[in-house]
Amino acid sequence: MPKITLNKKDTLKLIGKAISDKQLSGAIPLIGTDLEKITKNEIEVEIFPNRPDMLSEEGFARALSSFLGIKTGLKAYKVNKSNYKYKVDSKVKRIRPYCTAAIVKGLKFDKVSLAAIMNLQDKLHTTHGRNRKKVAMGVHDLSKIKFPLTYTTKPKSFKFRALEDKQEKTIQKILEEHPKGKDYAHLLNKSEVPIWMDANNQVLSMPPIINSEETKVTLNTKEVFLDITGTDPIAMDQALNILVTALADRGGKIYTVNKTPNLNPKKIKININTVNKLLGLNLTKPQIAKLASKMGLSYSPSNSTMSYPSFRADILSEVDIIEDLAIAYGYNKFETSIPNISTIAEENPFEKFKNLIGEICIGLNLQEVSSYHLSNNEDETKKMNTKLETVRVINSISQEYNVLRPWIIPSLMNILKINRHNEYPQNIFEMGKVFIKKGTNIEEPTRLGIALCNHNTDFTESKKILDAIFSSLGLRPTYETTEHGSFIPGRVARVSIKNKKVAYIGELHPKVIKNFNMDMPISAIELNLSEIFKILN
């Protein structure tokens, strides 16, 4: 979730009322924002990803002000028609197909408000814009641009002066050398790149990477042109609306370019019965209207329609409005209840069986241990001197945990290894899933692993333990000699129940013990509990 740091003084000014830190820290979590901390000059919050409109001082203040009853209701934004126009070159279709734009005039930036709009762009880029792939935006000084504009493409040999650069460079160079170029070049993998250009062939930006230095916004800028490009027109409109309304909240006047932005409120049908049934409340239409206005919405009881602002990106269904009403009602005000329905509890039979096996093991004075399912080939096969096939994790960030374990005994070996300094005997067991490739499927049987580690342990000691488990389950095992790289030849057996192979048992080979940097004898058992469970049922 995106974390943002808000300027406290600026936010309070936008809310329109002095509010104490105590009031703020009480209200902020209730509107659906994780409050990190409030300091002398800042408010640190985590905004849920469904509310990109709250990623700046303006949007956050707007929501809070409404929730606190200071400026409630659906806020209207006037859009002035204009003759500003741009053309779209059909070449962009294969490269970055969609664009939209708007103009805001009458602005008066200071350091704080300029930083706010830049931060908002940044946050929208990473979250709502999916790291600029889906939506990217640029803000330009309108006085430095001559209309009409063109959204077109240019080859990589084309030159312009990128933001913060001292001189013109080819696009190729910008992509290779500019910090933003390096970060986002992967988004432009065609021979031509998208370019916004004005009537004087002055470059505005190369979306989604970098603006031109020539149209840069400064503290003297009074009017801005906003460009948005991307792959998803709905998400792009939302981003545009979030930006222009943020600027309008600071006194800006919004003007169209071609026909955008469209800030008309959107509408959704709301059934009062659905609201009450889902929330477990008995709200009347006037009550719903009051709650709606607290959330910056407007409810029309006559046609059961909720109007919501065009910058809200999270309203997909009626339930999204119902949540807003619940938030306005106050999560802390709901009287909780438990319905009077009859259901029968049922333990998963296999979990029950596992716990019984656990009880037998404890009775045999074995201490239970618990390891990770993720491991590595070095431990699972190489050190164990065996050639089991493991299921590979493609993208693990750790070399130590990049396969799913195919058996349990190596997990036990690692535990014995870290316990070398502790008192012996160390007799331990673990029950857990192992992962086995069966064609294209991966099977996940549960196994019981037992390791007996002490001066006197041998095959006999482990066989007594395994026999005790079988006899507690009323099963009769047969032991057959077998070969297994992890165990001493002649001291390892394959164990079957009713001709089903269910376990390995034996004395671990000194070579294997040494591989785990130990020098204490170990005998071990690996028993397939899923198979035993099947046999018993």
Partner 1 sequence: MKKFDEVLESLHPLERRVLKHIKNNLTAEDIAVVSNMKEIEVMRALQWLESKDALELKQTQIETIELDKNGSIYLKEGFPEKRFLKALLEFSKPITLDKIRELAKLDKDETSISLGYLKRNNFIKLGREISITSEGEKYFTSNNSNEELLKDLPKVKNEIKNLETLNDLQKRKEIIKLNTKKIFTVKLKELGIKLSSSKLNLDLIDSLTPEIIKTDSWKNKKFRRYDVSASTGTSYAAKRHMVSQATNNIRKVWLDMGFKEMPGNIVESSFWNFDALFTPQDHPAREMHDTFFVEGTAKLPDKKLVNKVKKEHESKWNYKWDEKVAKEKIIRTHTTVVSAKTLAKLKEADIPSKFFSVSKVFRNEALDWSHLFELIQVEGFVVDPNATFKDLMGYLKQFYKKLGYGEDQIRFRPGYFPYVEPGLEIDVFHPVKKKWVELGGAGILRPEVVVPLLGKNIPVLAWGQGLERGISQYYNITDIRDLYKNDLKQLRESKIWLN
- Applying the rule CB under 8 A, the residues between 260 and 279 that interact with partner 1 are 277-279
Which of these segments, 17-25, 204-212, 261-269, 370-378, binds partner 1 (CB under 8 A)? 370-378
> 167, 200, 218, 395: which one contacts partner 1 (CB under 8 A)?
395
Q: Does residue 344 belong to the site contacting partner 1 (CB under 8 A)?
A: yes
Structure token pair of residue 89: 């070159």
Angle, helix 272-279 to helix 318-329, in steps of 10 degrees: 60
Told to check if 134 binds partner 1 by CB under 8 A, we report yes
Give 448's strand partners.
Answer: 431, 527
Nearer to partner 1, 152 or 414 (CB): 414
The answer to whether residue 119 forms part of the interface with partner 1 (CB under 8 A) is: no
Q: Are strands 86-88 and 149-155 parallel, antiparallel or unpaired?
A: parallel
Binding mask 54-93 for partner 1 (x = CB under 8 A): ----------------------------------------
SS3 187: helix
Window contacting partner 1 (CB under 8 A); options: 71-79, 174-182, 250-258, 312-320? 312-320
Give min distance, CB of 358 to partner 1, in A. Answer: 6
Min separation Cβ 366 and partner 1, Å? 6
Residue in 220, 317, 399, 517 binding partner 1, rule: CB under 8 A: 317
Q: Which of 112, 442, 535, 536 binds partner 1 (CB under 8 A)?
A: 442
> What whole-number distance in Å separates Cα of residue 155 and Cα of residue 57?
39
Nearest to 427 by CA among 514, 374, 369: 369
Residues 6+ apart with CB under 8 A from 471: none
Half-sphere exposure of 63 (CA within 13 A, CB side): 26
Query: Closest approach of Cβ 335 to partner 1, in Å?
Result: 6
Q: Which of 371, 385, 386, 472 binds partner 1 (CB under 8 A)?
A: 371
Tell me the closest approach of the beta carbon of residue 289 to partner 1, in angstroms: 19
**Tokens read off for 220:** 């003297």
Contact 255, 263 (CB under 8 A): no
Structure tokens belonging to residue 227: 């460009």
23 binds partner 1 (CB under 8 A): no
- Report if residue 401 touches partner 1, rule: CB under 8 A: yes
CB of 316 to partner 1, least distance (A): 5
Selection from 226, 8, 198, 26 nearest residue 117 by Cα: 226
Q: Which residues of 7-45 are buried (b: 16+ CB within 10 A; e: fewer)?
A: bbebbbebbeeebeeeebeeebebbbbebeebeeeebeb
- What is the nearest approach in angstroms of partner 1 to the Cβ of residue 266? 14
Which among 176-184, 439-447, 500-508, 516-524 is the span making contact with partner 1, rule CB under 8 A? Answer: 439-447
- Closest CA relative to residue 97, chosen from 236, 253, 201: 236
List the one residue from 195, 326, 493, 524 that touches partner 1 (CB under 8 A): 326
**Is position 187 an interface residue for partner 1 (rule: CB under 8 A)?**
no
- Report phi then psi at 235, rounded to 5: -65, -35
Least Å from the CB of residue 168 to partner 1: 35
Asked if residue 26 binds partner 1 (CB under 8 A), the reply is no
Among 32, 59, 181, 230, binds partner 1 (CB under 8 A): 32
Residues ≥6 apart with Cβ < 8 Å to 478: 495, 496, 497
Does residue 347 touch partner 1 according to CB under 8 A? yes
What span, in angstroms and rounded, lies between the C-alpha atoms of 63 and 55? Answer: 11
Look-up: residue for tokens 């003759």? 83
List Cα–Cα distances, 341 to 5, 6, 47, 519, in angstroms.
46, 47, 37, 60
When asked if residue 374 is in the footprint of partner 1 (CB under 8 A), the reply is yes
Least distance between partner 1 and beta carbon 347 (Å): 5
Q: Does 444 bind partner 1 (CB under 8 A)?
A: yes
Q: Which of residues 229-258 bind partner 1 (CB under 8 A)?
A: 232, 234-235
Interacting residues of 525 by C-beta distance below 8 A, sequence separation 6+: 448, 449, 450, 462, 465, 466, 503, 504, 505
In the region spanning residues 87 to 106, those forming contacts with partner 1, defined by CB under 8 A, are none
Q: Is 440 in the site for partner 1 (CB under 8 A)?
A: yes
Left if phi > 0, otherwise alpha if psi is -120 to 50, otherwise beta: which for 327?
alpha
Cβ-based nearer residue to partner 1, 440 or 517: 440
**389 contacts partner 1 (rule: CB under 8 A):** no
Nearer CB in complex with partner 1: 3/9 = 3
Of 335 and 483, which CB lies nearer to partner 1 in the complex structure?
335
Told to check if 356 binds partner 1 by CB under 8 A, we report no
Residue 90 CB, shortest distance to partner 1, in Å, is 21
